[in-house]
């Protein structure tokens, strides 16, 4: 199949396309001309075809002759113009009557009135009796006769006649009459046939009549003879030419399709651009139009009398070949660009558009977002105003329709922007609620929405990373504390046991007994610290078993208050708690909740101001039960509540009291294990612990 892409095969195809196209076009033209003139029907009658052919050749000559006479007469017809400079007496028509070879008129009567439109269409003051008009001294007829006589004697007039009698029209004979008098003729024998009669009429009077004749036996060499030979060949071989035209037309279509298929491919059957394909498209189109125009101009000019005498068949073939070469190569180049998808890529227009887009893009990129919004909204508003103003002045339904479509597009764009805004809000809310894993939007967003989406994605990823690192850090700390505490707990237990054994010995030295008592007391404190650390670690890591059940919150608080009544009385702290008729229940682990309240009461005994009140209140909401424990601190609390719940953080910054700063941290972790919330509110010296537990 690669032979189809061979350059030599392509060149042969283009040459054959030219040949078949010429045969097809020529055959169609020749058949149409001969058939329209009934030459095929009368192909056995040569005189008929001679007459038909001669008509088309000599009509132009006879018309040109009388036109020349009429135009030359203008300079002699003085004083017979109206205000617009038009002859008042002209009502001019030209009638041509045709004859067959027997001298009988045929049915093709030709009226050449359109040939004199310069006079007929502008004439606004015409009388059919114009030849009877006078200007006071001479009749128009007399002036017209004088003009004819003067023109017929001019050298230029005689030159026109001589041209018609030249070798180009040897077989053409004519007689010219003026007022039924022959003024010029080249008829010199009787072996002729009358073709037509052309008459110039002014008003109702015939002024010029030209009788056109043709030699019965055509002499060789002139135009009529040469044309007749071609005409005769086409007529006698009409059927052969018809089938040849059909075959050549089919071949031309096939060759054209072949050229269209292989255009743009190299000899290996691969798409490839030639050097001509790199020329900008606009230059190619300009060359195509230029070639078409120059070809049309040369062919049209070859129809003039002077140039027509110099033109011959070889020159026409050369002109046609040049036109075909340019046209077919330009056509193939355009097809090649289309197949390689570079039709507009290297065009000047494309480069200009790309340059403009690049400049506009640079301006837009460097514009502030605020100005972008102003320009966009302002542009939409401007076009709305333009369409509205045009519609008011034009009252066109099309403009109304365009304006309506514009508003519909605007509405859907606004709805789209609003939907994107809602999606961004939902995503921000998801991140706000701590759901960083499922907050990403999978679809892209345009413009500022896309930038905001990327920022939210970065924030979400950062939060997720920070939370993961925080959790990991807390787990490591908890594991470290648990391991260390376990390792410390064993020797502390041994120390306490040995100190207890020492206390049972009979030691007489009071100093030694005092030292043993301090050591025993500090050992118990160290043991308690170790146990708190282990418990805090277990609570923060969720390693404590939770058994939630419906419990009466007021009963738990009453029991806790009863356990600490003696200590509160020693500190002169009055407990204010109304537990009557309050059956508030919540889902909680009684053991863990007891530990939370115990830690809070222990802190109150350490840090509450003596002689104050301890307020305990329980309230019930739709989904939660809340416990409020309020007391007055003996120390100035210059620390946020969240920080106070951190491990080893104490409200007594001077550390003058016992404690390790783990009580509130443990309480918070234990409440959260029960799916509740633990908060601290500090208002001056007023310390409020808030425990929130779920009802279900």
In a domain, 9, yes or no: no
* Domain count across the chain: 4
In a domain, 574, yes or no: yes
Residues 147 and 101 placed together within one structural domain of the fold: yes
| Dist CA 55 CA 99 (whole Å) | 10
In a domain, 340, yes or no: no
Per-residue pLDDT band for 218 (boundaries 50, 70, 90) equals: confident
Segment (H or E) for 549: strand 549-552
User: Tens digit of pLDDT for each residue in 547-556?
Assistant: 888 888 888 8
pLDDT of residue 101: 44
| Domain's final residue, options 543, 571, 590 | 543
Residues 420 and 452 placed together within one structural domain of the fold: no
Residues 475 and 531 placed together within one structural domain of the fold: yes
Residues 411 and 438 placed together within one structural domain of the fold: no
Residues 465 and 561 placed together within one structural domain of the fold: no
Residues 129 and 194 placed together within one structural domain of the fold: yes
| Dist CA 34 CA 166 (whole Å) | 27
In Å, what is the CA distance from 408 to each residue of 395, 413, 445?
Answer: 20, 9, 21
Tokens 């307020």 locate to 615
In a domain, 418, yes or no: yes
Residues 558 and 663 placed together within one structural domain of the fold: yes
In a domain, 235, yes or no: no
Does the pLDDT at position 179 exceed 50? yes
Residues 396 and 499 placed together within one structural domain of the fold: no
Nearest-CA neighbor of 618 among 571, 682, 536, 561? 561
In a domain, 225, yes or no: no
How much is the pTM? 0.39
In a domain, 304, yes or no: no
Residues 473 and 529 placed together within one structural domain of the fold: yes
Per-residue pLDDT band for 145 (boundaries 50, 70, 90) equals: low
Per-residue pLDDT band for 299 (boundaries 50, 70, 90) equals: low
Residues 111 and 203 placed together within one structural domain of the fold: yes
pLDDT of residue 62: 58
Q: What is the CATH number of the domain that holds 558?
A: 3.30.565.10
Domain range enclosing 485: 434-543
| Domain's final residue, options 492, 511, 543 | 543
Residues 668 and 627 placed together within one structural domain of the fold: yes
| Domain's final residue, options 161, 188, 219 | 219
| Dist CA 445 CA 457 (whole Å) | 13
Segment (H or E) for 192: strand 192-202
User: Tens digit of pLDDT for each residue in 448-501?
Assistant: 777 787 888 888 888 888 888 888 887 777 677 667 767 777 788 888 888 888
- Between strands 205-215 and 585-588, the pairing is unpaired
Residues 646 and 512 placed together within one structural domain of the fold: no
Nearest-CA neighbor of 198 among 257, 116, 110? 110
In a domain, 200, yes or no: yes
Does the pLDDT at position 367 exceed 80? no
């Amino acid at each position: 199949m690669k032979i189809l892409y061979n350059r030599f095969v392509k060149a042969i195809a283009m040459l054959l396309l030219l040949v078949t196209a010429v045969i097809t076009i020529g055959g169609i033209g020749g058949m149409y001309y001969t058939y329209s003139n009934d030459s095929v029907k009368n192909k056995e009658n040569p005189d008929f075809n001679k007459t038909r052919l001669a008509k088309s050749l000599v009509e132009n000559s006879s018309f040109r002759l009388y036109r020349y006479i009429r135009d030359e007469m203008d300079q002699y017809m003085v004083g017979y113009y109206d205000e617009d400079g038009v002859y008042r007496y002209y009502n001019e028509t030209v009638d041509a009557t045709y004859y067959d070879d027997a001298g009988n008129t045929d049915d093709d009567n030709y009226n050449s009135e359109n040939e004199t439109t310069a006079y007929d269409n502008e004439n606004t003051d015409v009388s059919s009796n114009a030849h009877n008009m006078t200007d006071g001294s001479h009749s128009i007829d007399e002036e017209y006769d004088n003009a004819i006589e003067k023109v017929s004697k001019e050298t230029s007039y005689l030159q026109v006649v001589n041209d018609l009698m030249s070798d180009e029209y040897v077989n053409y004979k004519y007689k010219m009459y003026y007022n039924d008098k022959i003024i010029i003729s080249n008829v010199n024998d009787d072996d002729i046939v009358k073709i037509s009669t052309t008459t110039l009429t002014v008003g109702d009077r015939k002024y010029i009549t030209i009788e056109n004749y043709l030699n019965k036996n055509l002499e060789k060499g002139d135009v009529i003879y040469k044309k007749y030979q071609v005409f005769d060949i086409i007529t006698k071989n009409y059927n052969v030419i018809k089938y040849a035209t059909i075959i050549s037309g089919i071949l031309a279509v096939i060759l054209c399709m072949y050229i269209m298929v292989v255009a743009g491919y190299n000899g290996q059957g691969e798409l490839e651009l030639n050097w001509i394909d790199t020329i900008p498209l606009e230059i190619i189109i300009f060359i195509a139009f230029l070639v078409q125009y120059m070809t049309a101009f040369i062919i049209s000019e070859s129809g003039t009398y002077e140039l027509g005498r110099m033109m011959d068949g070889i020159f026409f073939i050369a002109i046609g070949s040049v036109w075909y070469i340019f046209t077919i190569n330009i056509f193939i180049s355009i097809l090649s660009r289309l197949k390689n998808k570079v039709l507009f890529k290297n065009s000047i227009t494309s480069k200009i558009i790309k340059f403009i887009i690049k400049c506009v893009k640079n301006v837009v990129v460097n514009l502030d977002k605020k100005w972008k919004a102003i320009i966009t909204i302002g542009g939409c508003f401007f076009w709305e105003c333009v369409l509205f103003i045009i519609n008011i002045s034009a009252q066109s339904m099309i403009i109304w329709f365009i304006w309506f479509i514009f508003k519909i597009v605007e509405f859907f764009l606004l709805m789209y922007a609003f939907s994107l805004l809602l999606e961004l809000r939902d995503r921000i809310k998801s991140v706000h609620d701590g759901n960083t894993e499922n907050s990403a939007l999978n679809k892209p967003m345009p413009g500022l929405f896309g930038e905001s989406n990327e920022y939210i994605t970065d924030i979400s990823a950062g939060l997720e990373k920070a939370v993961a690192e925080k959790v990991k850090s807390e787990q490591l700390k908890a594991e470290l504390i648990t391991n260390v505490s376990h390792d410390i707990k064993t020797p502390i237990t041994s120390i306490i046991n040995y100190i207890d054994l020492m206390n049972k010995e009979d030691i007489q030295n009071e100093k030694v007994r005092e030292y043993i008592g301090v050591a025993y007391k500090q050992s118990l404190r160290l043991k308690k610290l170790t146990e708190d650390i282990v418990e805090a670690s277990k609570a923060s890591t969720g390693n404590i078993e939770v058994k939630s059940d419906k419990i009466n919150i007021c009963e738990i608080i009453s029991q806790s208050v009863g356990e600490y009544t003696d200590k509160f009385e020693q500190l002169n702290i009055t407990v204010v708690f109304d537990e009557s008729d309050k059956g508030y229940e919540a889902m909680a682990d009684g053991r863990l909740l007891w530990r939370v309240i115990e830690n809070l009461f222990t802190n109150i005994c350490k840090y509450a101001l003596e002689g104050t009140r301890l307020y305990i209140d329980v309230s019930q909401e739709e989904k939660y039960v809340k416990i409020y424990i309020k007391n007055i601190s003996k120390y100035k609390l210059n620390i946020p509540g969240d920080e106070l719940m951190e491990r080893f953080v104490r409200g007594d910054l001077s550390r003058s009291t016992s404690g390790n700063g783990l009580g509130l941290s443990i309480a918070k972790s234990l409440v959260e294990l029960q799916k509740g919330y633990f908060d601290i509110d500090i208002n001056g010296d007023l310390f409020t612990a808030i425990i929130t537990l779920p009802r279900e």
